[in-house]
């Protein structure tokens, strides 16, 4: 064999070794890039899923707590209207009352279905109403040893006006879960309403959807990455075989260049995936951060780039949905504030309202809670001698209560100006409110008409807190309860007109239950006794001074605790002839 042949064979051997080296290196590079791309894609999806789950849990837990508190307050308000003020209660008879059962036992739903329910028990721990009737009549004291945490929650509800607590329990699969319970005492009764939900029912479905979306995106990305890596591997093998058959040094160089060209897209896409966790997903940008040139490829590189592009766009959309939900909640809160401003604008706010009338003084104030409520007051002259004054409280909150308040206030003034006695005014207003009242709302009202010449006051009370009569030198006393029905609750109700006579310098102090039921952080109520004591030391102060002093004492008592209800007060002082006024 000639020397030339040896050189050719040697050259071919060198080419073979180079081609094999290139083939092995290309294969290892493809495998490394495939593993790296998959790892960064998995990490990105996992971090995004965790962030979405935390946000969903935070937002929807707050929403769930709000729903449970509102449900407990609503049920307690309805039961107070039906059961409050009784001297004794026949539990067996109560349990046979289907209407009471429908009010006391209500399901609490999420968009996915039932999440909890309400129950009713008394201050001794005996269960009155429960979704499982087998539990009714049992006493929660049996929990003292087996479920000490639950029994502590029951004890707290017995001694406090409202409680909000989390309890830990184990489900049928022995998994620890959190249960949120809100309790509200039913005013004027020995009963307590408890609303209980599995709080994770509000956010687990959303988290599961986020998880499934991440799994689908990751599965598609993995499938595309693996398929692309296999195609690239076959392409590398073909280049090596071509090099072995007859490529020269130019062929070897071309193979190296081709390998670099084929591996570059994976490097670029891996770098994109590595940088993905640091990107801002809170805005719907046009497209994604995937290099645009690879999206135009008509091969597997294009498919991989399209899959990563879809993954980023889908993640942005999911996160934007959560952002939009939060923004919608903020918008609702803003609209409620505007509704509150509109509500307050229809109440008299200029004092003194009748500067030329020296026979009487009047002052009123409403201190709104955070949300739209149903408290109102009003006063107006019926003629030159008779002055009408009224205070009321709609048994609900929110925009419906605000609208119901506006309708009630307008009806009262319209009927009063027709010249009826107070009892007849409330009876006529009751008929109008009951008619077509599909929402089952009602209102408590105290209405009086003062004869500004004689001091005689005719009044009627539709289930409202009894006012206080202030007689300087003689003390402060509550007017006797009327026992008449709530306004707007039942058809064909009659209301008694009662009479009292104010001497010059004597006053009437009207208020809503937001004053006496204001509670501090320990759950202690301001109470009727504290209100009476506050007025004992203000028997000669002007109506405005007296009301502002009471308001200051209430605020000092609650000491920054959240306000659960509006604080509304009205004070009327009779002077009679100007010569009697001091």
Q: Do residue 268 and residue 181 come from a single domain?
A: no
Which of 1-15, 54-68, 493-507, 529-543: highest mean pLDDT?
493-507
Record the pTM. Answer: 0.48
**Domain's final residue, options 137, 167, 199:** 199
**Domain's final residue, options 165, 199, 233:** 199
Q: What is the mean pLDDT of the chain?
A: 84
Whether residue 341 lies inside any domain: the answer is no
Average pLDDT over every residue of 531-550 = 92
**Tally of domains in the chain:** 3
Q: Do residue 569 and residue 520 come from a single domain?
A: yes
Q: Do residue 122 and residue 42 come from a single domain?
A: no
Q: Which among 564, 567, 523 is positioned nearest to 72, based on CA atoms?
A: 564
Average pLDDT over every residue of 358-369 = 92
At 241, list the tokens.
């075989």
Q: Which among 347, 354, 351 is positioned nearest to 375, based on CA atoms?
A: 347
Residue 205 has pLDDT above 50, yes or no: yes
**Domain's final residue, options 152, 173, 199:** 199
For the chain, the straight-line distance linking the first and the last C-alpha, in angstroms and rounded, comes to: 141
Q: Do residue 400 and residue 468 come from a single domain?
A: yes
Higher pLDDT, 567 or 271: 567
Higher pLDDT, 236 or 407: 407
Q: Do residue 145 and residue 213 come from a single domain?
A: no
The percent helix, strand, coil of the chain (3-state, each to 5) is 50, 20, 30
Q: Do residue 228 and residue 181 come from a single domain?
A: no
**Full residue range of the structural domain in which residue 137 is found:** 63-199
| Cβ 541 vs Cβ 505: under 8 Å | no
Higher pLDDT, 538 or 556: 556
Q: Do residue 550 and residue 436 come from a single domain?
A: yes
Residue 316 has pLDDT above 80, yes or no: no
Whether residue 184 lies inside any domain: the answer is yes
Average pLDDT over every residue of 486-514 = 94
Higher pLDDT, 299 or 460: 460
At residue 74, φ and ψ (nearest 5 deg) are: -65, -45
The answer to which of 121-125, 147-151, 405-409 has the lowest mean pLDDT is 147-151
3-state SS of 479-547 is CCCCCCCCECCCCCCCCCCEEEECCCCCEEEEECHHHHCCECCCCCECHHHHHHHHHHCCCCCCHHHHH
Q: Do residue 301 and residue 231 come from a single domain?
A: yes
Host H or E run for residue 392: strand 386-394
pLDDT-derived band at 578 (thresholds 50, 70, 90) equals: low
- Which CATH number is 363's domain given? 3.60.40.10
Q: Do residue 90 and residue 163 come from a single domain?
A: yes
pLDDT score, position 250: 57
The three-class DSSP label of residue 474 is coil
Average pLDDT over every residue of 199-204 = 84
Q: Do residue 150 and residue 42 come from a single domain?
A: no
pLDDT score, position 3: 43
Cα-based distances in Å from 87 to 84, 139, 189, 190, 260 = 9, 22, 9, 10, 92
The answer to which of 45-49, 261-265, 366-370, 510-514 has the lowest mean pLDDT is 261-265
Residue 7 has pLDDT above 50, yes or no: no
Q: Do residue 195 and residue 221 come from a single domain?
A: no
pLDDT score, position 247: 53
Q: Do residue 80 and residue 162 come from a single domain?
A: yes
Residue 472 has pLDDT above 80, yes or no: yes
pLDDT score, position 185: 94
pLDDT-derived band at 579 (thresholds 50, 70, 90) equals: very low
Whether residue 302 lies inside any domain: the answer is yes
- Which CATH number is 92's domain given? 3.30.450.20
Higher pLDDT, 215 or 279: 215
Whether residue 340 lies inside any domain: the answer is no
pLDDT score, position 93: 92
Whether residue 183 lies inside any domain: the answer is yes
Whether residue 329 lies inside any domain: the answer is no
3-state SS of 153-215 is HHHHHHHCCEEEEEEEEECCCCCEEEEEEEEEECCCCCEEEEEEEEHHHHCHHHHHHHHHHHH
Average pLDDT over every residue of 366-388 = 89
At residue 523, φ and ψ (nearest 5 deg) are: 85, 10
The answer to which of 392-406, 413-427, 467-481 has the lowest mean pLDDT is 392-406
Residue 151 has pLDDT above 80, yes or no: yes
What confidence tens digit (pLDDT) does each residue in 183-199 have?
A: 999 999 999 999 999 99
The answer to which of 139-143, 376-380, 572-576 has the lowest mean pLDDT is 139-143
Whether residue 327 lies inside any domain: the answer is no
Average pLDDT over every residue of 349-356 = 92
Using left for φ > 0, alpha for ψ between -120 and 50, and beta otherwise, residue 419 falls in: left
The three-class DSSP label of residue 117 is strand
Average pLDDT over every residue of 220-245 = 75
Whether residue 41 lies inside any domain: the answer is yes
């Amino acid at each position: 064999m000639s020397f030339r042949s040896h050189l050719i064979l040697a050259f071919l051997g060198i080419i073979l070794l180079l081609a094999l080296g290139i083939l092995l290196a290309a294969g290892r590079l493809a495998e490394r890039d495939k593993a790296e791309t998959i790892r960064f894609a998995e990490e990105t999806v996992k971090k995004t899923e965790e962030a979405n789950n935390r946000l969903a849990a935070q937002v929807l837990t707050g929403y769930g707590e709000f729903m449970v508190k509102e449900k407990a307050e609503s049920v307690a308000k309805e039961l107070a209207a039906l059961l409050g003020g009784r001297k004794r209660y026949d539990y067996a008879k109560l349990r046979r009352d289907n209407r009471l059962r429908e009010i006391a036992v209500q399901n609490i739903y999420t968009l996915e279905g039932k999440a909890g329910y309400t129950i009713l028990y008394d201050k001794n721990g005996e269960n009155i109403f429960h979704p499982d009737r087998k539990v009714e009549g049992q006493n929660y004291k049996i929990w003292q040893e087996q479920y000490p945490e639950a029994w502590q929650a029951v004890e707290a509800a017995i001694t406090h006006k409202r409680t909000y607590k989390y309890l830990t329990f184990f489900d049928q699969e022995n998994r620890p879960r959190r249960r949120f319970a809100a309790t509200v005492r039913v005013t004027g009764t020995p009963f307590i309403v408890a609303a209980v939900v599995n709080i994770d029912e509000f956010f687990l479905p959303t988290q599961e959807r986020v998880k499934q979306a991440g799994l689908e995106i990751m599965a598609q990305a993995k499938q595309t990455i693996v398929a692309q890596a296999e195609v690239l591997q076959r392409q590398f093998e073909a280049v090596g075989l071509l090099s072995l058959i007859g490529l020269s040094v130019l062929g070897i160089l071309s193979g190296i260049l081709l390998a670099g060209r084929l591996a570059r897209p994976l490097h670029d896409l891996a770098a994109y995936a590595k940088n993905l966790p640091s990107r801002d997903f809170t805005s719907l940008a046009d497209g994604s951060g995937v290099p645009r040139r690879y999206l135009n490829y008509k091969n597997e590189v294009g498919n991989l780039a399209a899959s990563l592009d879809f993954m980023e766009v889908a993640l942005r959309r999911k996160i934007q949905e959560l952002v939009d939900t939060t923004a919608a909640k903020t918008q609702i809160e803003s609209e409620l504030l505007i509704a509150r401003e509109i509500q307050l604008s229809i109440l008299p706010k200029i004092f003194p309202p009748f500067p030329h009338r020296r026979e009487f003084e009047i002052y009123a104030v409403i201190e709104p809670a955070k949300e739209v409520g149903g408290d109102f007051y009003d006063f107006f002259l019926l003629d030159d001698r008779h002055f009408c004054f009224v205070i009321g409280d709609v048994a609900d909150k929110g925009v419906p209560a605000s609208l119901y308040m506006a309708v009630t206030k307008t009806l009262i003034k319209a009927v009063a100006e027709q010249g009826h006695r107070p009892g007849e005014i409330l009876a006529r207003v009751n008929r109008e409110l009951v008619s077509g009242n599909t929402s089952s709302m009602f209102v408590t009202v105290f209405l009086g008409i003062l004869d500004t010449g004689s001091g005689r006051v005719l009044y009627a009370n539709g289930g409202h807190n009894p006012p206080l009569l202030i007689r300087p030198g003689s003390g402060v006393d509550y007017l006797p309860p009327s026992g008449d029905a709530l306004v707007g609750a039942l058809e064909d109700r009659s209301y008694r007109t009662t009479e009292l006579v104010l001497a010059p310098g004597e006053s009437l102090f009207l208020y809503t239950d937001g004053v006496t039921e204001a509670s501090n952080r320990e759950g202690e109520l301001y109470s009727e006794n504290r209100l009476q004591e506050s007025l004992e030391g203000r028997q000669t102060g002007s109506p405005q001074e007296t009301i502002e002093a009471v308001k200051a004492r209430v605020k000092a008592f609650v000491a920054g605790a959240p306000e659960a209800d509006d604080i509304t007060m009205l004070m009327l002082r009779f002077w009679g002839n100007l010569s009697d006024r001091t």
